[in-house]
């Protein structure tokens, strides 16, 4: 019998496990992959240890920095290259060539604060800029709140701002079209500022003025995967067992009665969790399912896996699984290590976002990793560059899933050349890796706050059970870590109160 069983070995699960283990509770973590870390894992490419998923964290609230400090890594926090990203866009007129421009600076999620600024005009043209400026002449609805980010932007600033500025940013940050994003989730305070300022551009300016100075994101020297390594080391110190290549296939509550010295009967709930190996399909099919018992269970897995485990627990849980959940977003990353001195000039800053419909490019974004992070540049010889391309847009199949490694590598080279505006050849590739993230469910989509509220309410009424993870807390470590800490605190209190 363990005190706490954490299902899911991503950052949320590891953080929650640590919060419990530091008070002396016995903790086991289950992870279906062959290594912990989830979306903050690392991988080897051409002899370099690089981030396979998240490469930075948002500085808002200082929560991630505080947690990193607790792990002793404060000195390793670094700033990215301030050069910023670009946009790769369709031509302004039919028949023209695709264009690349710097992402306008004075904006929020791509919404411009100064519609007539030169960097905005370059992206959306004079006609788009004048239409966006008309926002300042339109009356503001004083009662009620805008819900859809895409509808708000399109209504107030027009389709060019939406399609050429906001949608590329929304797709890069949330893997979701702006029309499906809830304003109050992705841009807290924007509705209130819109009412006060009288225009969307004025609201954006007010939010940016109130925001702290400096970069909105930071990273770790050596990569964000070092956060996972530090967590694993810390958990090992507290004798936390991390079982990789192991899936939880079912949860069963076990209620037993204990009689106290005064003759009073008390019902004690524990959990029996069925386990199965995940590394070998044949072995998993032939293996006898194991069982692990725990006083408390924390689900820290993606939405589909969590809802599948919860549904058999009763009608209320089955109802949660039957809610109108959107299809999980899938993204495939292609990492290229290139011998390409032509990239020494950093032709597109730290990378570029690609607007949907831009001819000649399949990728939706590219990060010039060597240009963005000084620690990566220091690891590579002159002329060697690392770029990472992202494939997969909301509402459509990932276009690379049917490609072989060779085919994807060739496509990535072609896309990188088109976006970065340089000549690149397959012969320049010194290393290649692909990573598929297929189970992302954005908590920022319309209706998500209500669905999340219902999940939390049902789980809260179930003794011995808690749930955490990005699909509930929000996108990025700045949301995931505080939520996982809160789950760990609730569970450890429940155990100590038994």
Q: Are 30 and 178 in a shared domain?
A: no
Q: What is the pLDDT of residue 382?
A: 94
Domain encompassing residue 308: 2-36+226-326+443-497
Q: Are 159 and 173 in a shared domain?
A: yes
Average pLDDT over residues 426-451: 90
**DSSP per-residue string spanning 53-122:** S---EE-GGGHHHHHHHHTT-GGGEEPPPTT--EEEE--SSTT---EEEEPPSSEETTEESSTTSHHHHH
Q: What is the pLDDT of residue 283?
A: 47
The Cα–Cα gap between 352 and 333 comes to 14
Within-domain flag for 401: yes
Q: What is the pLDDT of residue 282?
A: 47
Average pLDDT over residues 367-388: 96
**pLDDT tens-digit readout, 443-483:** 888 999 999 999 999 999 999 999 999 999 988 999 999 99
Q: Are 176 and 260 in a shared domain?
A: no
Q: Are 346 and 423 in a shared domain?
A: yes
Q: What is the pLDDT of residue 141?
A: 66
Q: What is the pLDDT of residue 284?
A: 45
**pLDDT tens-digit readout, 4-48:** 999 999 999 999 999 999 999 999 999 999 999 999 999 999 999
What is the DSSP pairing of strand 48-51 with strand 42-45? antiparallel
The Cα–Cα gap between 203 and 196 comes to 8
Question: Rounded to two decimals, what is the model's pTM?
Answer: 0.92
Buried/exposed 44-67: b ≥16 CB within 10 Å, e otherwise: ebbebebbbbbbbbbbeeebbbeb
Within-domain flag for 67: no
Q: Are 256 and 202 in a shared domain?
A: no
CATH of residue 116: 1.10.3110.10
């Amino acid at each position: 019998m363990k005190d706490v069983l954490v299902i899911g070995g991503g950052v949320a699960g590891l953080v929650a496990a640590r919060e419990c283990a530091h008070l002396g509770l016995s903790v086991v973590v289950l992870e279906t992959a062959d290594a912990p870390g989830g979306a903050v894992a690392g991988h080897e490419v051409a002899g370099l240890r690089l981030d396979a998923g998240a490469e930075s964290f948002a500085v808002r609230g200082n929560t991630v920095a505080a947690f990193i400090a607790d792990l002793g890594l404060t000195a390793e926090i670094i700033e990215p290259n301030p050069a910023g990203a670009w946009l790769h866009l369709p031509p302004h007129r039919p028949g023209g060539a695709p264009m690349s421009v710097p992402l306008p600076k004075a904006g929020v999620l791509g919404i411009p604060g100064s519609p007539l600024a030169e960097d905005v005009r370059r992206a959306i043209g004079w006609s788009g800029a004048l239409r966006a400026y008309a926002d300042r002449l339109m009356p503001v609805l004083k009662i009620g709140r805008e819900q859809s980010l895409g509808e708000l932007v399109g209504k107030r600033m027009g389709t060019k701002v939406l399609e050429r500025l906001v949608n590329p940013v929304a797709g890069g940050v949330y893997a979701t079209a702006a029309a499906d994003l809830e304003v109050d989730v992705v841009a807290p305070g924007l509705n209130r500022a819109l009412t006060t300022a009288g225009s969307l551009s004025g609201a954006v300016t007010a939010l940016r003025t109130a925001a702290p100075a400096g970069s909105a994101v930071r990273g770790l020297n050596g990569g964000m995967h070092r956060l996972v390594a530090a967590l694993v080391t810390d958990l090992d110190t507290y004798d936390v067992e991390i079982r990789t290549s192991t899936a939880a296939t079912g949860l069963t509550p076990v209620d037993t009665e204990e009689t106290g010295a005064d003759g009073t009967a008390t019902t004690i709930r524990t959990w029996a969790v069925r386990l199965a190996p995940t590394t070998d399909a044949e072995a998993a099919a032939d293996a006898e399912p194991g069982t692990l018992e725990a006083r408390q269970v924390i689900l820290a897995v993606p939405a589909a896996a969590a809802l599948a485990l919860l549904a058999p627990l009763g009608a209320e849980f089955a109802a949660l699984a039957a809610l109108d959940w959107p299809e999980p977003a899938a993204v495939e990353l292609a990492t290229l290590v290139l011998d390409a001195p032509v990239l020494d000039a950093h032709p597109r800053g730290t990378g570029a976002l690609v607007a949907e419909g831009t001819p000649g490019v399949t990728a939706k974004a590219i990060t010039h990793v060597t240009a963005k992070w000084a620690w990566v540049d220091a690891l590579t010889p002159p002329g060697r560059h690392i770029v990472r391309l992202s494939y997969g847009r909301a509402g459509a199949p990932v276009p690379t899933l049917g490609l072989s490694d060779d085919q994807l590598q060739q496509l990535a080279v072609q896309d990188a050349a088109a976006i970065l505006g340089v000549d690149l050849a397959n012969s320049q590739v010194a290393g290649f890796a692909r990573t598929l993230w297929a189970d992302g469910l954005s908590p920022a989509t319309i209706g998500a706050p209500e669905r999340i509220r219902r999940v939390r309410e049902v789980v809260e009424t179930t003794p011995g059970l808690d749930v955490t993870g990005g699909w509930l807390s929000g996108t990025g470590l700045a949301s995931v870590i505080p939520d996982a800490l809160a789950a760990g605190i609730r569970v450890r209190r429940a155990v100590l109160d038994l």
